[in-house]
Amino acid sequence: MAKPQPTLMDKIVSLCKRRGFIFPASEIYGGIGNTYDYGPLGVELKRRVKDAWWNAVVTARADVVGLDSAIIQNPKTWETSGHVAGFTDPMVDCKKCKGRFRADHIGDLSCPEKPSKRPGECGGELTEPRSFNLMFKTHVGPMEGSGSVAYLRPETAQGIFLNFKSVLECSRLKPPFGIAQIGKSFRNEITPGNFVFRTREFEQAEMEFFVPPAENDEWYEHWRGVRFDWYIDHGISPERLRLREHDAAELAHYSTATADIEYEYPFGWGELEGIACRTDFDLARHSEASGVDLRYFDPQTKERYFPYVIEPAGGVDRMALTFLIDAYEEEELEKDTRVVLHFHPAIAPTTAAVFPLVKKEGMPERAREIEAELRAARMTTFYDEKAAIGRRYRRQDEVGTPFCVTVDGDTLAEDLVTVRHRDTMEQERVATGELVSYLDDAVRNWGRASRV
């Protein structure tokens, strides 16, 4: 029988492991669920995704500030937000194989017992769905008892609502304004899967934008557009992105309208980020439960009111996965096929690789000097002197390095290096004194047109 061909996801998972993007967590002990660690290139990729998000959502705007709140908050937070009572997914059990499955995802899941495919195909009867709360419980302090129960946050958003008054007082901002944060969230997903798409521990990038209620609709439209364009500006293929409005049955308990930015993954369309209208649900409930007035006082109109909230909420791991999938190409060349990741240079883990053409005549020493100059200009670099130059280029294509800088005889004689571009494979001669500004311009001016 012919061996089954690896799928696109198989190839990406394998590349991620082999080249140091993403490893299965606790692998030497057999792993733990669908949990992953980020290796040297993965951590750079994720850092760039977060920097690009922070830059667009916070640094570039005068109306958004940042926050870093605690993962473990007073448990009343989650009673008040509705998570203790309602943050559940429907779960079914198989009476034969004892598998547990998310009832609303049955069509996409597999039975652990082979050769059966879908849950229930092992011959077992599935139970009626029951609600399973996704929050991880823990205990705070040295005594374990009902009084010490706390939760790992299932979203970063609540930390923002709890700090609304403090930020308002110290920042002198007034609605419309936003508070953003990036950090870990935890959900005890019934069936995690599709690599880092759905995991139990993940990072979120969220922003709560507080607006006068009358301005709700215009800001909802603003943030849907801004967040959609951010993905396209960072190189994601527009034809694989769409905005989808939730219908009434799909809306979360706190939301009056939500739009998902969806990407067409190899396993189908899936949510990449959500933009939700949360109204005054959270501020009003936390005000009532805590007894602290979280209304905003407008000194001009002398009105005191709860601002409405527009929330763009994305997952950093899902963003990194999307950048990886969208960038991946097996490009047919005249003589062979090259694997290349067409990352936007602002997202690529390594900006420039530096090579001496040969390992002699002072080229390695000059290449090391040039690499140090690029590092001093805060570029991420990689030095490589092993193997033929063509092979070294290909190794960098496979991890998405947009520029390779080669030191040769001309560098020593005339201070010129060769810059080789990943997407077009074109080469240019550049004066070493102009290399930093040349690469800076190339990063800034990169566009999808230069993708092959």
Which residues lie near ligand GAP (CB under 6 A)? 155, 157, 187, 189, 198-199, 202, 204, 206, 271-274, 311, 313-315, 317-318
CA 292, 293, 299: angle at the middle one, nearest 5? 145
Q: How far is the CB of 127 from ligand GAP (least distance, A)?
A: 23
The nearer residue to ligand GAP, 162 or 379, going by C-beta atoms, is 162
* Residue among 311 and 408 whose Cβ is closer to ligand GAP: 311
Nearer to ligand GAP, 158 or 350 (CB): 158
Question: Whole-angstrom Cα distance, residue 358 to residue 354?
Answer: 12
Least separation in angstroms between residue 112's CB and ligand GAP is 20
The string of DSSP codes covering 140-186 is -SS--SGGGEEE--S-SHHHHHHTHHHHHHHH---SSEEEEEEEEEE
Q: What residues contact 163, with CB distance under 8 A and at least 6 apart?
A: 67, 69, 179
Of all residues in the shown chain, the one whose CB is closest to ligand GAP is 315
Q: Phi-psi category of 173—alpha, beta or left, where left has phi over 0 and alpha has psi -120 to 50?
A: beta
Q: What is the DSSP track for 19-62?
A: HTSEEETTGGGT--SS-EEE-HHHHHHHHHHHHHHHIIIIIT-S
Query: Minimal distance in Å, beta carbon 72 to ligand GAP?
Result: 17
Q: Which of 202/219 has CB closer to ligand GAP?
A: 202
CB 337 within 8 A of CB 331: yes
CB of 198 to ligand GAP, least distance (A): 4
Nearest C-alpha neighbor of 350 from the set 379, 385, 326: 379
Tell me how far, at minimum, the Cβ of 233 lies from ligand GAP, in Å. 18
Nearer to ligand GAP, 132 or 383 (CB): 132
CB closer to ligand GAP, 161 vs 393: 161
DSSP category for residue 351: S
Query: In the bound complex, what is the minimum distance in angstroms from residue 307's beta carbon to ligand GAP?
Result: 17
